[in-house]
Structure 1
Amino acid sequence: MKRDVVASEFLEVLTKVSRRVRTAFNQQVTAHGLTYPRARTLFRLTKKQNMTQTELAYELELEQATLVRLLDRMEENGLIKRQPDLRDRRAKLVALTPHGEEQAAFVRSIADQIRDQIFEGVDISELQQAISVLERITANLADLEDVHVPA
């Protein structure tokens, strides 16, 4: 098979897999009363507490206004707290409350179960090779993004 045909097929499969992983995760968290954006936010905040709203918006790939509405609801539900950033009075730091930490642990357990199911029967060497391929593609994409199109 030609390289461009295989590369196209790879991108198509990658897109389908990505969509299906998101759908599976979304179905599991919504079945337990969470929304997908809320679950993703909890998950992200377990990795790094006290992020600024701007950092969190970037990490989640959300518009600032969308994130603010999401955080407002999460704060009302006692999942997060926002406090001023002592280094920048304009910025707010976002952290999980104890209730938010409980919910985040629950989200993590759902993610762990899904991950275990997804990778059942896949050898670790296959995963490592796939990671290498995806890292190379990511680097190539970064190069592509750095190229400016003339006006």
Structure 2
Amino acid sequence: MTSCTPADGPPDLLFLLSWASHALQTEHAAGLAELGISPRAHYVLAQSRTGDLTQRQIGERCGVDKTTMVVTLDQLERAGLAERRPVPTDRRARLVVVTPAGEQVLLRAQQVVQRIQEDVLATLPEQDREVFLRALVTLVTGPLANSSPYAPGSRSGC
């Protein structure tokens, strides 16, 4: 790894988090590609699992704009992994339902993600793993909660 940390100063948090995020996203995308899905498709499937959320609600949860959500759902439907069904009380809205084939892919995707996470965390001493995760959760639910591109209403994300 290269370092943008000043020789006489503390580690650069932005650089370190960006590096870690990029590396983890790359591994995540590669692992899911073996299943024929993207990270975004994985997140949409995971949010759709209950079958009681609309396309719009899932998009908001994932921080995905309407156009990207439509494209993602079109891909999932073509692959036979999800279906859009009319909402009984609002014919303009569509519920997203994971198909049995989608459930199988989702299960395998969650195993891939779990394996990657375990591999990454295994590089830390065992006593530091929970502390590290708790600290990250504190950061993203605290000071970084509203500035994240993954925050509700943002345009990028999943």
TM-score range, shorter chain: 0.7 to 0.9
The normalised TM-score by structure 2 is 0.73
Does residue 64 (structure 1) correspond to residue 63 (structure 2)? The answer is no
How much does 1:142 deviate?
4.1
Q: How does 1:33-72 map to 2 (within 5 A)?
A: 33-46=36-49, 48-72=50-74
How much does 1:123 deviate?
4.3
Partner of 2:95: 93
Partner of 2:156: none
Greater relative contact order structure (CA < 8 Å, 6+ sep): 2
Deviations 1:78-98 (A, max 9, x none): 111111223433321101011
Question: Alignment partner of 2:37: what SS?
Answer: coil
> Residue 109 and residue 54 in structure 1: after superposition, are their counterparts in 2 closer, same or farther (change >3 A)?
same
Aligned identity (percent) is 22
Range that drifts further, 113-122 or 29-38: 29-38
Could you tell me which runs of 5 or more consecutive residues in structure 2 were left unpaired when the two chains were aligned.
Answer: 1-8, 149-158
> Residue 40 and residue 135 in structure 1: after superposition, are their counterparts in 2 closer, same or farther (change >3 A)?
closer
> Residue 97 and residue 143 in structure 1: after superposition, are their counterparts in 2 closer, same or farther (change >3 A)?
closer
> Residue 106 and residue 15 in structure 1: after superposition, are their counterparts in 2 closer, same or farther (change >3 A)?
same
Does residue 27 (structure 1) correspond to residue 30 (structure 2)? The answer is yes
2:15 to 4, 12, 15: 12
Partner of 1:148: none
> Residue 77 and residue 144 in structure 1: after superposition, are their counterparts in 2 closer, same or farther (change >3 A)?
closer
Does residue 114 (structure 1) correspond to residue 80 (structure 2)? The answer is no
1:134 to 133, 136, 141: 136
The normalised TM-score by structure 1 is 0.76
2:113 aligned partner, one-letter code: A
How much does 1:36 deviate?
3.3
Deviations 1:27-47 (A, max 9, x none): 11223433333233223334x
1-structure distance, mates of 2:77, 2:144: 36
1-structure distance, mates of 2:53, 2:92: 14
1:43/1:107 contact within 8 Å kept: no
Structure number, greater radius of gyration: 1
> Residue 44 and residue 20 in structure 1: after superposition, are their counterparts in 2 closer, same or farther (change >3 A)?
farther
Question: Alignment partner of 2:71: what SS?
Answer: helix
Could you tell me which runs of 5 or more consecutive residues in structure 1 were left unpaired when the two chains were aligned.
Answer: 146-151
Return the structure number with greater helix share: 1
> Residue 109 and residue 128 in structure 1: after superposition, are their counterparts in 2 closer, same or farther (change >3 A)?
closer
